[in-house]
Structure 1
Amino acid sequence: MDWLEIHRGTAPLIVSLPHTGTDLPEEVAGDFVSPWLATRDADWWIDRLYNFARNMGATTVRTTLSRSVIDVNRDPSGASLYPGQFTTGLCPTETFDGEALYVASSPTEAEIARRREAWFDPYHAALTAEIARLRGLHDRIVLYDAHSIRSVVPSLFEGELPNLNIGTNGDTSCDPALTRVVEAACDAGPFSRVTNGRFRGGWITRHYGEPDKGVHAIQMELACRGYMDDPTEALTPATWPSPYRLEQAAPMRDVLTDVLTACLTFARAGSQP
């Protein structure tokens, strides 16, 4: 499965990258209004931003497919993660800005089921397998779900999003002690931070987080201005996405290195020598 990238480390940390992909399989690509629109809401450059994680011994799991094909961070039952608020579904039919993704009709139930079997289920089989493998090595592990989004998306939230948005579903997906050390790592840097604000954790965080079984899941949603330029004019293929900027990203990478270090320290503190 060339769309599924798995790097196996031995440290008690998994970094999940569910929204960094931009690939559109041939059998569905022609159904979209345009490739650009079908990839516009990707978590741009996040896999590059976190590429230091492997050197820390972390396992990474990533899909190269666009979230517009199927979103592996949504409840497969179709239930909303944020009832009463706008959010995209398992097979999104519109962008964050409400623009139709499909030229004609949206995917049928049969097509959604096909995509789930082809791409959603294997992604989660991989995550499940890596969790089991690492739990065989460690008494507790951290599953860190990495995301980003434009700083201003009126349909999703008011105003400008804080730089660092921690999601633990109200401290049900991990031990509150993990939340505290991640907060401390964030607050030691120059960026704004909120915990369980607009983004409380997606389906991956909520589904896999079982602190009583040694699996502590936490989501980090970054406002993209921490490592690339936010759009200052209408989104077009010429203006979005903006480039990844090494100098701009450096302070954010420093903070994220501290965050992942805190995750590892927490996990190892609960493991037997």
Structure 2
Amino acid sequence: MSDLIENPLAFFQGRVPLLISMPHAGLQLTPAVQAGLVPQAQGLPDTDWHIPLLYAFAAELGASTLAGNYSRYVVDLNRPADDRPLYATATTGLYPDTLFDGEPLFIEGGQPSAFERERYLQEIWTPYHQTLASELERLKAEFGYALLFDAHSIASRVPRLFDGKLPDFNLGTNDGASCAPELAQQLMQVCANAPDFSHVLNGRFKGGYITRHYGQPADNVQAVQLEICQCIYMDEQAPFTYRPALAAKAQLVLRDLLETLLAWRPTKS
């Protein structure tokens, strides 16, 4: 029997020209994926843990939010449908077969079938991107432009993916292609004003498929990815506990970043 796909996403429509996308926060698994995972993957260690909770304050700002409900182990919403590689260095694909540490994700022979994976593309990936694209079009129609903030988190140290510890705040604008340079610099200044945290622009994380595909300044869509270290708001080891006191400090910076986005206006030609 095929896996039943239910509630692939959670969407809230806001009142300002900002959409926050959270593609890797999902915890749901299909039966086929759950049955095939190796024991160390059962706890979903590569999840962008607690991102909807971390950004819950965004509702007060009037932002729209879109979160994927299924784990990236089922299908990765931040990869292109054709699974074209985004990075020349080690990474994971549309249908991940390894954990971030490079170990196999599935027991031998445990991967979902090609038929099941095509269903995941059609019934999980596609609705997310249809909703994302539709909301950006609505925002452009209402405000004349749209702001897309792609929200992510990751363990501060993943030796297979990068050397040493990541900066706390990793902004990505596809090397300047997805966002106006002056807006990117304003966001960098917000990070610079928070000396307790380190930051970088277009370092190891330049933006995944969502940032690269939808960030089209010439078409009135400014897109920025933010990858933050999980150590600044939670425990990085299982059971991956959310730390409210830590998170509150990080949220001050996140709020400043979102408010800076909302204060920006496109220059008139």
TM-score, length-normalised on structure 1?
Answer: 0.91
Q: Could you report, residue by residue, the CA deviation over 1:60-111 in whole angstroms, capped at 9, with x for unpaired residues? A: 001111000000001221111102x110010101100112121233344433
Alignment match of 1:79 (pick from 84, 89, 111) = 84
2:3 paired residue number? none
- Give, as a single letter, the amino acid of the residue that structure 2 aligns with 1:98: G
Aligned length: 261
1:270 paired residue number? 266
TM-score, length-normalised on structure 2?
Answer: 0.92
Alignment match of 2:219 (pick from 208, 213, 221) = 213
2: CA distance between counterparts of 1:26 and 1:242? 23
Alignment match of 1:197 (pick from 203, 211, 216) = 203
1:63 paired residue number? 68
Alignment of 1:8-157 (within 5 A): 8-34=13-39, 36-37=41-42, 39-83=44-88, 85-105=89-109, 106-157=111-162
- Assess if the C-alpha contact under 8 Å between 2:170 and 2:202 holds in 1: yes
- Assess if the C-alpha contact under 8 Å between 1:24 and 1:35 holds in 2: no
Matched-pair identity in % = 41
* SS of the residue 1:114 aligns to: helix
2: CA distance between counterparts of 1:178 and 1:79? 29
- Assess if the C-alpha contact under 8 Å between 1:72 and 1:120 holds in 2: yes
2: CA distance between counterparts of 1:37 and 1:79? 27
Unaligned runs of 5+ in 1: 232-239
2:244 paired residue number? 246
Q: Could you report, residue by residue, the CA deviation over 1:174-196 in whole angstroms, capped at 9, with x for unpaired residues? A: 11111011111111112100000
- Give, as a single letter, the amino acid of the residue that structure 2 aligns with 1:257: R
1: CA distance between counterparts of 2:208 and 2:50? 19
1: CA distance between counterparts of 2:38 and 2:82? 26
Give me the CA root mean square deviation: 1.6
* SS of the residue 1:180 aligns to: helix
Unaligned runs of 5+ in 2: 1-5
Residue range with higher mean Cα deviation, 91-100 or 147-156: 91-100
Residue range with higher mean Cα deviation, 69-78 or 156-165: 69-78
- Assess if the C-alpha contact under 8 Å between 1:32 and 1:102 holds in 2: yes
- Give the Å deviation of 1:270: 2.6
